[in-house]
Chains A and B, each alone.
Chain A
């Protein structure tokens, strides 16, 4: 692992947004920019954006059914070795665990998907960073 790469792998970013669909755009741009620093392919970045959109949408739609205003969704993302990890969590009480097509889409797009329901829901997703030869 080169010095630069090692530094990269210590990078982590987190953001907490109110449950609002409009802000998904911000999340998507930030994730894309972060993934780009890992030199991931556009396809992998697209997959991550789509999967995270699904996870966030699930939180937005289901986590806080009893409040008009809605709560917050927390997104954290970092790299461990060759794994790009994204966690999307909420503190909602609603229909907590994602179901149906949403979860299937996440599973189809990412390499690992783990869902923990405790107080709120935490979706942990892993995308492998493909190692390739430098030209």
Chain B
């Protein structure tokens, strides 16, 4: 009987139980107090729908949707860092204009066509196309060596282009107002880029977003097991008890769930 009840409970939507889905305003209050980066992350992820719906409004105007989403995320992060919950207005009414502003600025600045190290950016684009092309041809992703041979540049340059061009891309959003020559930009030390950490963080957020999307494709029980394991840190024996199945079974389901996530992430 008790077992049945638990089983039923386990199959219900579980997201509400997670710390990740608290009320936004409450999260903001806690974030203000603690400055806990994990809370900030939750806040950002919580508003992913907003990001996508606003980015969609600008799609079909000649810029890739992917880039628009990136700009919108950037706007959201800005809004989260600047929002003050004690001022009385709701977060969304503060965030929407901030994100829209960022998107508009993107379109405006795009036409200036002032690029940060263009060579690296172009190389990044070429490399990304080539990765798709070679993946199809070879039946596996290419190696750095293969890319460097095809592109006719050194392996180091390929590594740099793959890692850094993205950062410059967003950096350029902030710098287009003060364009400097390509040459000057090139001279700038790669490590100086103060925005790099912001962008690594951005990448982490994207990964979290991807994971959350991928989680939706797991079945209820797999998702429950993944959540209990990773969010709540429960041991498998405890999870087995809660779900009324054997620990072996939990372990098998967890492995299967991770395989699925792995596959979804690599797509």
Interface residues of chain A, those whose CB is within 8 Å of chain B, are 20-22, 24-26, 28-29, 32-33, 36, 39-45, 47, 49-50, 53-54, 57, 61, 97, 99-101, 103-105, 107-109, 130, 132
Contact = CB atoms under 8 A, between A and B. Distances in A.
Contact of A25 (B143, B144, B145, B196): B196
Contact of A99 (B159, B233, B258): B233
B178 interface: no
Contact of A36 (B143, B167, B258): B143
A53 B38 contact: no
A50 B140 contact: no
A102 B103 CA distance: 30
A24 to B, nearest CB: 5
Main secondary structure of the interface of B (DSSP, over half): helix
Contacts of A100: 38, 230-231
B119 interface: no
Contacts of B258: 104, 107-108
B217 to A, nearest CB: 13
Nearest to B212: A101
Contact of B204 (A32, A54, A103, A108): A54
A112 to B, nearest CB: 11
Given A53-B203, A105-B207, A108-B262, A99 B145 contact: no
Contacts of B147: 42
B211 A36 contact: no
A44 B144 CA distance: 11
A112 B38 CA distance: 25
- A-B pairs, 7 with minimum CB distance: A21-B197, A43-B141, A36-B144, A41-B141, A104-B230, A25-B196, A108-B261
Given A25-B200, A100-B230, A39 B143 contact: yes
B93 interface: no
16 contacts: A20-B197, A22-B194, A25-B190, A32-B163, A33-B156, A33-B159, A39-B144, A41-B142, A42-B143, A42-B162, A43-B141, A43-B266, A53-B203, A99-B230, A101-B208, A109-B262
A54 to B, nearest CB: 7
Interface string B164-205: 000100000000000000000000001101101100110110
Contacts of A109: 262, 265
B163 A103 contact: no
Nearest to A50: B207
Interface string B30-49: 00000001100000000000
Given A36-B145, A42-B143, A130-B140, A103 B230 contact: yes
B143 A40 contact: yes
Contact of A21 (B167, B200, B207, B231): B200
Given A36-B155, A108-B261, A24 B143 contact: no
Contact of A108 (B144, B167, B201, B265): B265
